Amino acid sequence: MQITAENILLIGSLLLILSIIASKTAGKAGIPVLLLFLGVGMLAGTDGIGKIAFDDPGAAQFLGILALTYILFSGGLDTKWQSIKPVLKPGLLLSTIGVLLTAVSVGLFASWFVDLTWKEGLLLGAIVSSTDAAAVFSILRRKSIGLKGHLRPLLEFESGSNDPMAFFLTIGMTSWLSVEGFSPVDLIPMFFKQMIFGAVAGFLLGKGIVFLINKINLEYDGLYPVLMLGLVVLVYTVTDLVGGNGFLAVYLSAITMNQSRMLHHKSLVRFFDGIAWLMQIIMFIALGLLVYPTQVWPVAGLGFVIAMFLMFVARPLGVWASMSFFNFSNRKKAFISWVGLRGAVPIVFATFPLIAGVEKSDLIFNIVFFIVLTSVALQATTLIKVAEWLHLAVPGRLKRRSLLDLELSDDFKNALVEVNLPENSRVDGKQILELEFPKTSLIVLVNRNNKYITPNGATELKSGDKLMVMINSGEEEYLVRKALALD
C-alpha cells in the first residue's frame, strides 16, 4: 500500500488507536509497550500484513528528532532540581565518560566480531552508546516501580542528558567516514562548542520562555500549551543554528523552567506528558515501518552477540569507571548497568550514516535495530525483578496528587502524596506519633477499606492503609518512605 494524501490520515489514526488499545493488553501480559509500538510498525510495513511502503530514512529521522525533542522537554519539565542536585556529578560522568567508554568498547568488539573496519565499528558503538530517554522515562515512571535512595533521579537524569554525547559521537564518526578531509582533531572543538553553546542556550532560552509566559497574558488559557509547542522547537533550532547541541538545550531549558516561577506549570506538565506519549508512539511506529524484517533476521545472530556484550561488558564498564569516584554500592552499580535501555534513539541515530551514504550503513542499521529489540525485550521486562533481587526495590513510590487538581501558586511549596502501605507492613499497629516523621510532614487522611479516617497522633496504622501525606518538596519524600518502612 502506498501512502497518499487520501489515506494517510486513516492509516495514521488506525495505527495510533490500535497501538494504544493493544498496549493495555500488552502491559498486563508483561510485554513492553515500546516493543509493541515497534511491532505494530513492522506488521504494517512492506514485509508485514499492512504492506505500507515506507522507505524514507530522511522522513524517519525528521520524525525521530522532533519526537525526541518533545520527549526530552517533557522529562525535563517534570524533573526538579532538588532531586537531581545530589546526583548531578555522577549523572554527568555517566552521560559523558560512561557513554564514551561504552561506545569505544562496543566499537572495538564489533569491528573484531563483524566484518567492519574499526572506524565503522566505532560508528556502531557511538549509535548505541546512550540509554534511551523515552524508554527510561516511560518505564521508571510506571506506578509499580519504586527505587531506594536517589537511583530513580540519577537514572532519569542520565537518560535525559546522555543523548547529546551519543549524538555528537555519531555525527563525528559519520563525518569522519563520509566527509573528505575530515580529521578526528576536528571533533575536539566541535565537542566543546556543542556542549557549551547548548548549555548556555538552554539556560538563557529557558529563562526567556518563563519571562514570556508570565508576561504575555493570553486571553485563552488553551493557547499556552500551543505557544509552548512552538517555543520548544525554537529552542532546538536556534541552538542548532549557533552550533550548540539542541537536545541538551531543550532538556536544560525545561529544567530551568521547572526551577522558575512560571504560570500554568502543572497544566503544561500534564499536556506535555501526553505529547511525549504521542511522540513515542509515532516515533516507534515510523521506525518499525522503516525496517524490513527480512533484512534484520539474517543479522540476528550478530546483533544478539553484540547486544550481550553491550549489556554485560560495555555498559558495566562505563558505569563502574564513571561511578568509581562516588560512594555507590556494587548492587547499585549493577542495577544502573542493567537500566542501560536502548530504544528508538539508536535507530534514529542509525539513519544518519544511511543518509550520508556511509559504506555498510545498511548492515549497521539492521544490527542496531536488533540490539534495540533485544534490549527492550530483555532489560525492560526484568527491571522490577532485578531491583528486587538486588534489594533496591520498595513496595511503591509515592504518588503526587494535586490538591483538588488546582493550579497552585509557585509560592506554595507543599505537595500532597499518596502512600500505599503494603501487606505485612513493618509499621502495622504502630501509632503515628511513634513514627520518625519529618517535623514538617503530616498525615492528613487515612483510607482504610474505603472508609476515611481523620488521623491524630494516637491513630494506629494498618497494613493496606492508603495515606494522604502533606510534605515539602525535595528530600522529605525519602524521609517519609523511611519512616513508613518503605525503604
The count of residues in the chain is: 487
Q: At the fourth CATH level, which superfamily is domain 399-483?
A: Regulator of K+ conductance, C-terminal domain (3.30.70.1450)
Tell me how far CA of residue 365 lies from CA of 307, 342, 360, in angstroms.
14, 14, 9
| Mean pLDDT score, 27-42 | 64
Which residue would you say has higher pLDDT here, 199 or 29?
Answer: 199
pLDDT higher than 50, residue 225: yes
CA distance 330 to 336: 10
Give pLDDT tens digits for 319-339. 999 998 888 889 999 999 998
DSSP structure string for 117-183: -HHHHHHHHHHT-S--HHHHHHHHTSTT--BSTTHHHHHHHHHHHSHHHHHHHHHHHHHHHHSTT--
Q: What is the mean pLDDT of the chain?
A: 83
Q: Which three cell numbers stand for residue 12?
A: 495514521
Calpha distance 473→83 (Å, rounded): 9
Cell of 326: 562516588
> Is the pLDDT score of 60 beyond 60?
yes
What per-residue confidence (pLDDT) applies to 94?
93
- What mean pLDDT comes out for the span 446-466? 87
Does residue 246 carry a pLDDT above 90?
A: yes
Q: Is the pLDDT of residue 194 over 70?
A: yes
What pLDDT does residue 121 have? 95
Per-domain residue ranges for the chain? 55-264+309-389, 399-483
Most confident of 11-15, 162-166, 376-380, 483-487: 162-166
Q: Do domains 55-264+309-389 and 399-483 have the same CATH topology?
A: no
Is a pLDDT exceeding 80 seen at residue 148? no
- Predicted pLDDT of residue 473: 53
Amino acid (one-letter) located at 329: S
Within 13 A of 328's CA, how many CA atoms are on the CB side?
27
Using an 8 Å Cβ cutoff, are 338 and 372 in contact?
no
β-strands 451-453, 399-401 pairing: unpaired
Distance of alpha carbon 468 from alpha carbon 447, whole angstroms: 8
Mean pLDDT check: name the lowest of 41-45, 156-160, 206-210, 401-405.
401-405
234-243, 412-421, 439-448, range with the lowest pLDDT: 412-421
Work out whether the CA dihedral 170, 176, 177, 182 comes out positive or negative. positive
Average pLDDT over residues 461-481: 77
More confident residue, 407 or 291: 291
Q: Hey, is 77 helix, strand or coil?
A: helix
Whether the per-residue pLDDT at 408 is higher than 50: the answer is: no
Residue-by-residue DSSP string for 331-379 = HHHHHHHHT----HHHHHHTHHHHHHT-TTHHHHHHHHHHHHHHHHHHH
What secondary structure does DSSP assign to 410-460, as a single string?
TT--EEEEEEEPPTT-TTTT-BGGGS---TT-EEEEEEETTEEE---TTPB
Weakest-pLDDT range from 237-241, 294-298, 428-432, 479-483: 479-483
Contact 244, 201 (CB under 8 A): yes
pLDDT digits (tens, 9 = 90+) for 264-320: 888 898 899 889 888 888 887 888 788 877 888 889 899 999 999 999 999 999 999
CA distance 67 to 284: 10
C-alpha cell at 121: 565499528
> Which run of H or of E encompasses 479?
helix 476-483
Output the pLDDT for position 18: 72
Choose the weakest-confidence range: 1-5, 70-74, 220-224, 371-375: 1-5
CA distance 191 to 169: 9
Averaged over 148-161, what is the pLDDT?
82
Cα–Cα distance measured from residue 370 to residue 368, given in angstroms and rounded to the nearest whole number: 5
**The amino acid at 55:** D
| Confidence (pLDDT) at 470 | 83
What pLDDT does residue 237 have? Answer: 95
State yes or no: pLDDT of 364 exceeds 90: yes
Question: Torsion angle of alpha carbons 131, 135, 140, 145, nearest 10°?
Answer: -120
Q: Has residue 371 got a pLDDT over 70? A: yes
Residue 411 pLDDT greater than 60, yes or no: no
Which pLDDT tens digit goes with each residue over 252-263?
A: 999 999 888 888
Domain 55-264+309-389 belongs in CATH node 1.10.287.3510: no
**Pick from 61, 16, 69, 70: nearest CA to 285:** 16
Least confident of 48-57, 103-112, 297-306, 343-352: 48-57
The pLDDT of residue 399: 53
Cα atoms found within 13 Å of the Cα of residue 381, Cβ hemisphere only:
16
Give me the pLDDT at residue 402, please.
Answer: 44
Q: Taking the alpha carbons of 235, 238, 242, 244 in that order, is the dihedral positive or negative? A: positive
CB contact at 8 A, 473 and 85:
no
Average pLDDT value for residue range 87-107: 93
What is the pTM (predicted TM-score) of this model? 0.76
Q: What is the mean pLDDT of residues 116-138?
A: 86
What percentage of the chain reaches a pLDDT higher than 70? Answer: 85
More confident position, 101 or 431: 101
CA–CA separation, 418 and 396 (whole Å): 10
Type of residue numbered 19? S
Residue 1 has pLDDT above 60, yes or no: no
Phi then psi for residue 424, to 5 deg, are: 55, 40
CB-based contact 242:194 (threshold 8 Å): no
- Under DSSP, the state recorded for 310 is I
Burial class (CB in 10 A: 0-12, 13-18, 19+), 405: exposed
In the predicted model, what is the mean pLDDT of residues 384-397? 76
pLDDT at 456: 82
